[in-house]
Amino acid sequence: MAEGSFKERWRHFTKVALPGNAMVVSHHAMGLLPIDVVSALGAWLGRQFAARNKVRDQRVRHNLKVLRPDLADPAHIDATVQRFWSNAGRSMAEFSVLRRLWVSDRVEPTSLDNLEAARATGRPRIGVFLHLGNWELAGPKLLSLGETSAQIAQTLANPYRHRIAMSVRKVFADKLIEPGPMAGRQIIRSLKETGGLSMAGDEYMNGELLAPAFGRPLHLDGNLGRAVRLAKMTGAIIVPYYVLRTKGAHFRLHVMPYLDLDFTGETWLEDGVRAMDETITPIIVANIDQWLMLDNFKVAKP
Please tell me whether residues 186 and 75 are part of one structural domain: no
Of 52, 81, 98, which closes a domain?
98
In a structure prediction context, what are the per-residue pLDDT tens digits for the chain, which is 302 residues long? Answer: 445 687 787 776 676 666 666 666 777 788 899 999 999 999 999 999 888 899 999 999 999 999 999 998 899 999 999 999 999 999 999 999 999 999 999 999 999 999 999 999 999 999 999 999 999 999 999 989 988 788 777 776 777 676 777 777 777 766 777 777 777 888 888 887 777 889 999 999 888 999 999 999 999 999 999 999 999 999 999 999 999 999 999 999 999 999 999 999 999 999 999 999 999 999 999 999 999 999 999 998 76
Of 98, 116, 138, which closes a domain?
98
Phi (first) and psi of residue 129, to 5 degrees: -100, 165
- Amino acid present at 33: L
CA angle, residues 56, 248, 60, in degrees to nearest 5: 15
* Length of the chain as a residue count: 302
User: What span, in angstroms and rounded, lies between the C-alpha atoms of 59 and 54?
Assistant: 8
Q: What is the DSSP letter of 27?
A: H
Task: Name 197's bridge partners.
Answer: 126, 150
User: What span, in angstroms and rounded, lies between the C-alpha atoms of 192 and 169?
Assistant: 24
User: What span, in angstroms and rounded, lies between the C-alpha atoms of 63 and 212?
Assistant: 13
Please tell me whether residues 121 and 265 are part of one structural domain: yes
Please tell me whether residues 64 and 134 are part of one structural domain: no
Residue 89 belongs to some domain of the structure: yes
Of 62, 78, 98, which closes a domain?
98
Task: Name 108's bridge partners.
Answer: 252
| Domains contained in the chain, number | 2
Please tell me whether residues 79 and 193 are part of one structural domain: no
CA angle, residues 241, 247, 251, in degrees to nearest 5: 25
Please tell me whether residues 16 and 137 are part of one structural domain: no
Residue 301 belongs to some domain of the structure: no
Residue 302 belongs to some domain of the structure: no
Residue 249 belongs to some domain of the structure: yes
Residue 300 belongs to some domain of the structure: no
Please tell me whether residues 269 and 152 are part of one structural domain: yes
Cβ–Cβ < 8 Å for 101, 249: yes
User: What span, in angstroms and rounded, lies between the C-alpha atoms of 286 and 277?
Assistant: 14
Task: Name 109's bridge partners.
Answer: 253
Please tell me whether residues 83 and 144 are part of one structural domain: no
Q: What is the largest CA-CA distance in the chain?
A: 66
Please tell me whether residues 94 and 111 are part of one structural domain: no
Q: Classify burial at 208, counting beta carbons within 10 Å of its beta carbon; exposed 0-12, middle 13-18, buried 19 or more.
A: exposed
User: 222 is in which domain, residue-wise?
Assistant: 106-295
- Amino acid present at 117: A
For the chain, list the strands marked E by DSSP.
107-110, 125-129, 150-152, 176-177, 196-200, 203-205, 208-211, 237-247, 250-255
Please tell me whether residues 87 and 131 are part of one structural domain: no
Please tell me whether residues 141 and 174 are part of one structural domain: yes
Residue 158 belongs to some domain of the structure: yes
Please tell me whether residues 264 and 197 are part of one structural domain: yes
Residue 17 belongs to some domain of the structure: yes
Q: Of 238, 214, 216, which Cα lies nearest the Cα of 227?
A: 238
Residue 120 belongs to some domain of the structure: yes
User: What span, in angstroms and rounded, lies between the C-alpha atoms of 280 and 273?
Assistant: 11
* pTM of the full structure: 0.88
Please tell me whether residues 119 and 266 are part of one structural domain: yes
User: What span, in angstroms and rounded, lies between the C-alpha atoms of 216 and 299?
Assistant: 9
pLDDT digits (tens, 9 = 90+) for 12-53: 667 666 666 666 677 778 889 999 999 999 999 999 988 889
